[in-house]
Amino acid sequence: MANNDTQDQGISAGIDPGLPLAKDWKPSADYRVFAGGREAAVHCSEGTSFAIIVCPEAEELALEVEAAAAFDRVVVRPLSAGIVPSADGGKLRFAVRAGHKLSIEPDGDTKRPLLLFVQPEEAAKPNANDPQVHYYGGGRVYDAGRIVLRANETVYIEEGTIVRGTIFAEEAVNIAVRGRGVLDGSGWRGVRASDDERRNMIKLIGCERVVLEGITVLDGDSWHVLPIACRDVTVVGLNIVTFEGTGDGIDIVGCEDVAISGCFIRSNDDCIAVKAVDYFHPSGCKDVRNVHVSDCVMWNAPWGNALEIGYETQCETIENIVFEHIDIIRCEFEGWQSGGTFTIHNGDRAIVRNVRYDNIRIEDSQEKLVDIKVLHSKYSRDAERGFVRDIRFSNIHIVDGPFPVSVIRGFDEAHLIEDVSFTNLTAYGQRLRSANEARMVVELAKGITFE
């Protein structure tokens, strides 16, 4: 459906400086960004500024960043991008290309960085007058409220446009959320009567053939992207920025055949969590199978974990999970002895098996690198404990920051952690060939190997 019945609340939040900005849209006071000589809108969020740059996929784009505060040096993360800006009089100059997801940190500042999301141009936009398209465009700010997607429908948020609202679908087939604009939930934070009223930014229950592509999801009230009991879900090029205490990035709950790629997630809680929990779906928990996460950049702030399986594992099987080609630019200190970069917390009855981590770089892991446990936790609902088996780590590299400890611990002699291998695990270029060298505590486990 077209959006002509939606109340818009402003003029433009787009990147064209010739258009007036919306009355209630606040630009960043910390940074200005010029892309190809043209000024881009720099959004102001609670603890960061961010800009969305759209450019052709095959081209490099010259960028100039002006910082309001003086600085002596700058770090551009992920380090694997290999970007070293030239600096002159408070201005940074460097080139970017489509797909770059960057944190610009003058003097290593993690409190007020500039996030840059360089998105590829779209091959085609949907028709704004198509009755099956919820089209939000024109560089406006919309107060959309709850947007309900039905079968064969699309939500499209155009570049430069901000939609204040949430998206919901149930038992819908062939649906999509697309664009280069912003889905903004920041206005709801703290405005609720109880925890039961927490809003998920994109919540999908029992859906099939789902595509989420290209938009930026900003600072909602709880877990941000939440597919529950869904099949065939593709998430490409999303950016998620949140400062909510329980603000997970993407939670995959009881789903099968999920592919996540090219995303940037800065979350206060888990960046990505794979779960099975029975209170979301009337038919109870579903098993989780075939989840593939690749080519992403993760920033896990103080709560939760970077790449998590658990704690809720109320199903029979969680299997065939792959995390690869990922940069963990930050996994901050939680302090509750549960935070970590690679975590499997099996708090219920499931068998968690065939999990692969490959070609992952860690720049700042402040609590634990690996935390694999079978346990009873405050999130547990099953009386029986499960198992963790057949876990493979390959080409995992600590390239910056502290050298964290790791823990692998089963529940008891009947519920061991089994068959966990580490191949080419390195710290600052030095290969780690044993649990002792990896600063790893191993208890109630067998088949833990290093190569």
**DSSP letters spanning 128-155:** TT-TTEEEE-TT-EEEEEEEEE-TT-EE
Residue 368 and residue 300: Cα distance in Å, rounded?
12
Residue 114 and residue 49: Cα distance in Å, rounded?
5
Residue 21 is encoded by which pair of tokens?
A: 């900005």
Is residue 399 helix, strand or coil?
Answer: coil
Largest Cα–Cα separation, the chain: 68
pLDDT (mean) for 175-180: 98
Q: Does domain 133-450 have CATH number 3.40.50.720?
A: no
368-374 vs 305-313, strand pairing mode: unpaired
Pick from 134-148, 199-213, 281-295: least confident: 281-295
pLDDT (mean) for 167-183: 97
Specify the pLDDT at position 338. 78
Residue 242 and residue 235: Cα distance in Å, rounded?
18
pLDDT (mean) for 13-30: 52
Specify the pLDDT at position 24. 58
Residue 85 and residue 79: Cα distance in Å, rounded?
12
* Residue showing tokens 């990035």: 249
pLDDT (mean) for 94-108: 95
Domain residue ranges in the chain:
31-120, 133-450
Residue 193 has pLDDT above 80, yes or no: no
Q: 26-74 pLDDT, tens per residue?
A: 789 999 999 999 999 999 988 899 999 999 988 899 999 999 998 989 9
Q: What is the pTM of this model?
A: 0.93
* Residue showing tokens 């098993």: 287
Is residue 367 helix, strand or coil?
Answer: coil
Residue 291 carries which DSSP code? E
**Model confidence band, residue 229 (pLDDT cutoffs 50, 70, 90):** very high
Residue 84 carries which DSSP code? -
Residue 332 and residue 302: Cα distance in Å, rounded?
5
Residue 398 is encoded by which pair of tokens?
A: 């600590």
Residue 210 has pLDDT above 80, yes or no: yes
29-34: long-range pairs with CB below 8 Å, 24+: 29/68, 30/67, 30/68, 30/69, 30/112, 30/114, 31/65, 31/66, 31/67, 31/68, 31/104, 31/114, 32/65, 32/66, 33/63, 33/64, 33/65, 33/66, 33/114, 33/116, 34/63, 34/64, 34/65, 34/66
Phi (first) and psi of residue 188, to 5 degrees: -95, -10
Q: Does domain 31-120 have CATH number 3.40.50.740?
A: no
**Model confidence band, residue 90 (pLDDT cutoffs 50, 70, 90):** confident
Specify the pLDDT at position 412. 97
Specify the pLDDT at position 5. 39
How far, in whole angstroms, is CA 121 from its chain's centroid? 21
141-149 vs 154-157, strand pairing mode: unpaired
Which is more confident, 346 or 112? 346
Q: How many helices (H) and strands (E) does the chain have?
A: 0, 38
Is the backbone of residue 353 left (phi > 0), alpha (psi -120 to 50) or beta? beta
